[in-house]
Amino acid sequence: APKKLWGGRFSGAVDPLMDAFNASIHFDKRMYAADCIGSIAYAKALSKNGIISKEECEQLVSGLTDVMEEWSSGKFVIKAGDEDIHTANERRLGELIGSVAGKLHTGRSRNDQVATDMRLWLRDEASKVLAHVKELIAVTVARAEKELDVIMPGYTHLQRAQPIRWSHFLLSHAWLWQSDAERLEQLIDRFNVLPLGSGALAGHVFNIDRAFLAKELGFRDYIHNSLYAVSDRDFVAEFLFWASLTMTHISRVAEDLIIYSSGEFAFVKLADAYSTGSSLMPQKKNPDSLELLRGKCGRVFGNMSGFMMSYKGIPSTYNKDLQEDKEPMFDAVDTLSGSLQITAGVLSTMEIFPDKMRASLSADMLATDLAEYLVRKGVPFRETHHISGAAVKMAEDRKGSLSDLTVEDLKTLHPSFEDDVASVWSFETSIENRNAPGGTAKSSVLEQINLLKTWLSKK
Ligand code: ARG
């Protein structure tokens, strides 16, 4: 059996099943670059401190660069005994540069190493995910701008409520993603601190220059307590919550669009690129992309809750339970990356049917406007609400439309109704009246578009 990195004190062999159970190389190899980059900085810090010579440092750096190159070109061969990415890289480094490789791990533990690798890896990957969020916002804003004058029913309780701009609906989702983007930026900054130089748990024995290490690796600071440094995975928890919340937002827009693409609504039609058919029913065109997005939200929540269950009972410092942190993190990154791009694809390619949206508006959706008409005539709103409600009932009793009531009909409900009540029966007017910032009037929607565009264009 191959020699274990930690095999000195062991005499018996490890059960092969245990070996496989213990191994993380098949998934943590994704962090190969972070592992090599962290080690290169560490070698430099060792030489800066005089713990290794300049020449030894150069050998280590060049060997680690070769190891990294083997990974990126697909030439790295994982061997039996390569327990994780850290042991695999150190084993290979030894094969390439000989015994000086054994100096690299001086004062370091896989405990501070793995925590550093994960932060480096997630910092990079989360930045890519962030770019996908911004792209999704950009696509949504562009669409909102293009379709500014399309109007549709706005819903509460899925009941037709008030007319709104289609753009206003689109932007409501863009704003959620904008808050997701900000949250992600904040959390990347929060976890961008260095664990390396903490040793196994108690601290570094050769007073390594941790400020230098932090700077080399682009961390804004180092972590100020070694026990905390090796055991803290709050950044994984926070990222998984972020991912879950962002997937919730994606799931909710998916649900909206699934409803809007049904035959009964027919407000939107997904592009063929994001739909599938039925193996039995020839007429079917199903919004599978949206259903998958909704479903994947559950998967990401599973990653978060699964990780939290592993995390919650761990005693202080490093325990092997912590190896369970990586797969949920990787899976969440992959799922978010795919979901954000698919959402952007669906949103930018679907067809909309403005006529169908408009035909779904009905005069009863202007009942609030009817009340507001009386408010403008000086009637207290609470009264006008009742009067307009009575008008709705009158129209319903006659099996007619609210807008078909004559001024005479309305006057029986309140003397303030006059001929100009006719102006209430316009969906456009209703929309334009909601012109306070944040409303659905054109000016407010344009303001939102400008704000989001400005935000997108900075940095
Ligand atoms: N593969 C391990 C992990 O992912 C690396 C750290 C192992 N440390 C240890 N003391 N066994 O957590």
Query: Whose C-alpha lies nearest to ligand 1, atom 3?
Result: 323
* 3-state secondary structure (DSSP) of residue 268: strand
The answer to whether 339 is a known catalytic residue is no
Q: Dump pLDDT digits (tens) for 379-392.
A: 999 999 999 999 99
**ipTM of the shown complex:** 0.97
What's the confidence (pLDDT) of residue 282?
85
Question: Could you give the domains of the chain?
Answer: 14-106 (1.10.275.10), 117-199+224-359 (1.20.200.10), 363-425 (1.10.40.30)
Specify whether the CB–CB gap between 117 and 35 falls below 8 A. yes
Specify whether the CB–CB gap between 222 and 194 falls below 8 A. yes
What's the confidence (pLDDT) of residue 4?
79
What's the confidence (pLDDT) of residue 459?
67
HSE of 396, CA atoms in CB hemisphere, 13 A: 8
Beta pairing partners, 164: 152
Q: Dump pLDDT digits (tens) for 339-374.
A: 999 999 999 999 999 999 999 999 999 999 999 999
List 62, 278, 305, 423, catalytic entry: 278
Residue 159: φ, ψ to 5°:
-105, 145
Residue ranges of E strands in 260-302: 268-269
Q: Which residues contact 452 (CB under 8 A, 6 or more apart)?
A: 137, 141, 171, 174, 175, 178
The answer to whether 443 is a known catalytic residue is no
How far CA 87 is from CA of 45, 100, 102, 319, in Å, comes to 20, 15, 11, 17
Q: Count, in order, helices (H) and strands (E) of the chain.
A: 18, 6
Instruction: Report the distance separating Cα 356 and Cα 168, nearest Å.
Output: 17
Helical residues (DSSP H) of 98-165, grouped into ranges: 110-146
Counting as low any pLDDT under 70, the low residues of the chain are 1-2, 459
Ligand 1: does its nearest atom lie under 6 Å from the Cβ of 85?
Answer: no
Residue to substitute in 83, 105, 111 for testing ligand 1 pocket (most ligand atoms within 8 angstroms of CB): 111
Residue 251: φ, ψ to 5°:
-60, -35
The pTM assigned to this predicted structure is: 0.95
Q: Which residues contact 119 (CB under 8 A, 6 or more apart)?
A: 191, 192, 193, 194, 195, 219, 235
Ligand 1: does its nearest atom lie under 6 Å from the Cβ of 111?
Answer: yes
Pair type for strands 159-165 and 151-156: antiparallel
